[in-house]
Chains A and B, each alone.
Chain A
């Protein structure tokens, strides 16, 4: 039997990338500045994480001009939602497995 942590995907499991997907999951789209401010990141740091997510096909990035100013909108894709669901299921499994382990330990100690 494999350990539940083996189901965690590197592209999604990283704390910031998981946060980006969590925000986008409930929204239609969010802009770069909103994500940067909400997650407390620098431009470069957020840009790198978005690049990883875009290359994995988890987000779609749309660069547009609004009122003659550049703006970057980010949207979660269907596979991004699936990856987030899978990650959350894996995290719940990690918790359940650790709790089962703790219960077994206390039973054998008693």
Chain B
């Protein structure tokens, strides 16, 4: 009976300390803010330059956003004394952004409307879903669900550049709201 109680207490304590060790991963307000800004700029931009040229803004902006987010995690980790792993974050953002650009190009060249309009969004949504699972972040999971809904809605009700503008514009709104929520959540329970 003593063994049982000690083992149960040890497992509970390990779970509590594991959650403390993973806490910096769930602080996602900064990347959401950065990627919200990128999407907010991309929404009007795609209507001006067309979706075929959006990659020349989105690709470097997303990679820069990934690096900026990694630097933010590094800095907050230095201050708090607990650093989150950065490699997964950078690798997933880079991979999803490049996959999105490939989908967009392939869809245009092959004349596949769905791949051209929804492909980049789906690639990014999958990337965020991987990060949500890795970080065990409910906030990121909500973002993923909202991104998927926005893609499905935009492809069914709009076409061409307005469809992409709707996608990234609605992502920006969702990201800003979730960034605000996550920020206030972490300020209340640091």
Contacts and interface: CB of A to CB of B under 8 A. Distances in A.
Interface string A68-110: 0000010000000000000010011011001100100000000
A46 interface: no
A30 B14 contact: no
Interface stretch (B51-59, B80-88, B90-98): B80-88
A100 B18 CA distance: 28
Interface in A1-58: 5, 15, 18-19, 22-31, 33-34, 38
B1 interface: yes
A33 B1 CA distance: 36
Nearest to A98: B4
B185 interface: no
Contacts of B8: 95
B83 A26 contact: no
A39 B185 CA distance: 24
Interface of A is mostly: helix
A38 B81 CA distance: 11
Contacts of A91: 7, 10-11
Contacts of B108: none
Interface residues of A, number: 27
Nearest to B17: A22
Contact of B10 (A18, A27, A29): A18
A23 B17 contact: yes
A5 B11 contact: no
Contacts of B60: none
Nearest to B77: A28
B189 interface: no
A38 B20 contact: yes
A31 B11 CA distance: 24
B86 A28 contact: yes
B10 A15 contact: yes
Given A28-B86, A29-B83, A95-B11, A23 B20 contact: yes
Given A18-B14, A22-B13, A98-B7, 6 more contacts: A15-B10, A19-B14, A22-B17, A23-B17, A27-B24, A94-B3
